């Protein structure tokens, strides 16, 4: 089982606290289309979880991964947004699952795990290299880290686009390998209840 103290709670301002309701709306209880059809099946394949193994989910959001794994896996989800953690707890009744509000870019968690997953979250963390270092400290010997993120060159928000020239489609790329902090609007078109989160590229 997990240690009682999963890590030090960090009271940190995060843009994801304000966009948590929007995120829950688009992701839902079981994940959006790409979660269900592409991401989660392949994450589970790569993790190759065995009964009794421990899994840590960094930037877990509202816990969509936890609700897809076998019930005998010990799971710990960590996210900086209290609202997302609150939603995750409300949707997950597995007693082997624990959730903690924590900033994983600052704290080395007082835990060890067999597998760690970071699903579409590392790109939203300002200090990704600290997160990777923390993963090294938390993983057991021969452990596995699975990271899912948007392509760092071809899918940079506001810095890439498609174009068609002579009936051939091309991807336009700006600022490749350039440090960026990019604001992401939750309602960019109608501006209704519009809130910002941030994406980081290096």
117 has a pLDDT exceeding 90: yes
The predicted pLDDT at position 11 comes to 54
Q: pTM for the whole thing? A: 0.79
Q: Output b/e per residue, 151-166; b: 16+ Cβ within 10 A.
A: eeeeebeebbeeeeee
| Range in 37-46, 55-64, 108-117, 147-156 with the lowest mean pLDDT | 147-156
Question: What domains sit in the chain, N to C, each tagged with a CATH number?
Answer: 15-148 (3.40.50.150), 160-201 (no CATH)
DSSP state of 8: -
| Range in 25-39, 61-75, 119-133 with the lowest mean pLDDT | 25-39
CA distance 131 to 133: 5
């Amino acid at each position: 089982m997990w240690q009682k103290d999963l890590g030090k709670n960090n009271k940190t301002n995060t843009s994801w606290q304000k966009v948590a309701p929007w995120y829950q709306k688009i992701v839902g209880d079981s994940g959006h289309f790409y979660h269900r059809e592409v991401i989660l099946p392949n994450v589970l394949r790569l993790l190759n979880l065995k009964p009794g193994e421990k899994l840590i989910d960094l930037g877990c959001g509202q816990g969509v991964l936890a609700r897809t794994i076998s019930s005998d896996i010990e799971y710990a989800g960590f996210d900086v947004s209290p609202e997302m953690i609150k939603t995750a707890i409300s949707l997950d009744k597995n007693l082997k699952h624990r959730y903690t509000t924590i900033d994983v870019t600052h704290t080395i968690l007082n835990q060890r795990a067999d597998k760690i997953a970071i699903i579409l979250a590392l790109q939203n963390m300002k200090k990704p290299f600290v997160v990777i270092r923390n993963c090294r400290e938390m993983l057991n010997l021969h452990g596995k880290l699975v990271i899912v993120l948007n392509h760092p060159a071809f899918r940079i928000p506001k810095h890439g686009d498609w174009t068609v020239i002579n009936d051939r489609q091309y991807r336009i790329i700006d600022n490749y390998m350039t440090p960026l902090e990019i604001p992401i609007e939750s309602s960019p078109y109608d501006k209704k209840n519009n809130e910002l989160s941030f994406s980081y590229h290096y």
